Amino acid sequence: MKNTFTFKELFSEFDDDIISVPEDTVFGDTDISTDAVKNAVLLRSGCRKKRHKGIRMILIAAAIIVISGVCSTMILADTDIRIAFEEFFGGNMNSAGLYDGGNVTVRTDDPNLDISFLGLTGDEHEMYAVIRASKKDGGTFTDEGYLYPYMTSDWKAMREYMLSLNGKTDTTPDELQSAMASFCGIEAVCTDRYGSNFGYENEGDAMIDAKYYLSDDRKQIKILIHLDIDNASGTKHLDARDGTLTVKSACFTAQKIVNTFFTDELSDEVSTGTAWNRFEKLFTGSQESVENMSVIYTPQRAIFCQTDKKEYALPFELTFTMNYRYNACIRRTLKQIDSPHYINENVPDAQMTVSPFSIRFDGETDHTDISQCFEDVDIDNSYVLMKDGTKYCFRDWGCCGGGGPASGKIESHSRLTYTLKPHSGLEEETILIDTREIAQITINGDIVYKA
């Protein structure tokens, strides 16, 4: 059989060396913006360099304390919600589950501290809150130099940390409390209405993630607090619906860079840990250096350095009632027949809770021949449709749960957060939506909610 090729086709197969001509004489007078092309390409390819990225790091020290830094941005899908927050959070409220403290109080014992609550959103499982503080005498929160360099004006955080046991199983509550106290000064105390302390050994715990934003003049500080009431380490789900949750802070730590090892552009390389590999090679055999390593994030890069740390007092207490029913939370009980492609057989009732930033499904069955109550979410066939026609996709955080033949029941809990497009990367912004404007929710092709 004969093949026919044009000259142009054949020339395209030539090696680069044979086609060498002065390239500026090839390009002609095209006035194309390389940056515009690059930005469009990276966005479409899913390669866009992520801002405010963080990595989970393990500092290898004698006590094997797990320290991680998490940085995330949230974008608000509704203009009303968006204006409710100053920068990330702060400002006025609306009734879509974002409130100014009807069931939230913040207080301080420091007479020189002016502290105010800016905003909060959440459900009984998760909460984001922002508070702002300044000194009545106009003083600064830190000494000069105790902040890290920043590249843009919208990020002035000095450090970030997550208190987490994710992946860590041999840290005792005492060790964790000690770590919490030494690194951030925040204690998490869960109490029910009767004053009982939940703690770690009882029903579960609260994971706290807080980020500080220090102003240029170091006179104002904002704190974004994220509380995850579900225990990420997989112990019992905390039933805190009728209790209160109090977050207390005594101080925070500020850093001054004294020695920079290297910097890395924030990219997937950092998030996948290859930068960590580089760090490990630098410090092989140097336990002391490893223990003193810090990573400071700016919007563009991660700075691997040694820092001098100082503690500064910032005492406050944030309390909110867990039994608050948010206007924005849509709750439904679903039968298997309501969503045959998502809810497994023999699951009599599944609870669906739709909040401004996630949809949760909870199920239970006494049929232990199934491993989970829910099927995998088909991202391409699952979405939220708003009344104005906007469509949001999901990021599936997986299904966790427990049980089995021994207990005689299977429990499953799944969570979906909203994304602008399907199959978004983990570093994509978190979306908040106004649940009042939801028209329809579809999971695996099944319509599970219609306004």
Shortest distance (Å) from residue 278 CB to another protein: 14
Residue number with CB closer to another protein (22 or 111): 22
Helix (H, G, I), strand (E, B) or coil at 245: strand
Integer Cα distance of 131 and 102 in angstroms: 15
- For residue 23, the minimal CB distance to another protein (Å) is 6
First to last CA, the chain: 62
Token look-up 């850093």 returns: 255
The CB density around residue 189, as the number of other CB atoms within 10 Å, is: 15
Q: Between residues 11 and 136, which has the closer beta carbon with respect to another protein? A: 11
Complete DSSP assignment for 125-139: SEEEEEEEEEETT--
Take residue 195 and report the two structure tokens written for it. 């004053």
Nearer to another protein, 268 or 376 (CB): 268
* Least distance to another protein, CB of residue 198, Å: 43
Q: Which is nearer to another protein, 35 or 388 (CB)?
A: 35
Least Å distance, CB 425 to another protein, is 12
Structure tokens at 157: 């955080």
Residue (54 or 363) nearer to another protein, CB: 54
Nearer to another protein, 20 or 284 (CB): 20
- 317 vs 322: CA distance, rounded Å: 16
Least distance between another protein and beta carbon 158 (Å): 28
Task: Supply the minimum distance, in Å, between the C-beta of residue 9 and another protein.
Answer: 8
Pairing status of strand 207-214 against strand 160-163: antiparallel
Output the DSSP codes for 297-353.
E-SSEEEEEEEEEEEEEEEEEEEEETT---TT-EEEEE-GGG-TTTBPTT---EEEE
Cβ distance 441 to 331 under 8 Å?
no
Decide whether 24 or 170 has the Cβ nearer to another protein.
24
Six-digit token pair at 287?
């336990």
Q: How far is the CB of 245 from another protein (least distance, A)?
A: 40
* d(C-alpha 380, C-alpha 306), whole Å: 45
d(CA 52, CA 45): 20
Q: Distance between CA atoms of 54 and 295, rounded to whole angstroms?
A: 10
Q: Point out which residues bind another protein (CB under 8 A).
A: 1-19, 21, 23, 25-28, 30-34, 36-38, 40-42, 44-45, 47, 49, 265, 267-269
Residue 426 C-beta: closest distance to another protein, Å? 15
- 29 or 144: CB nearest another protein: 29
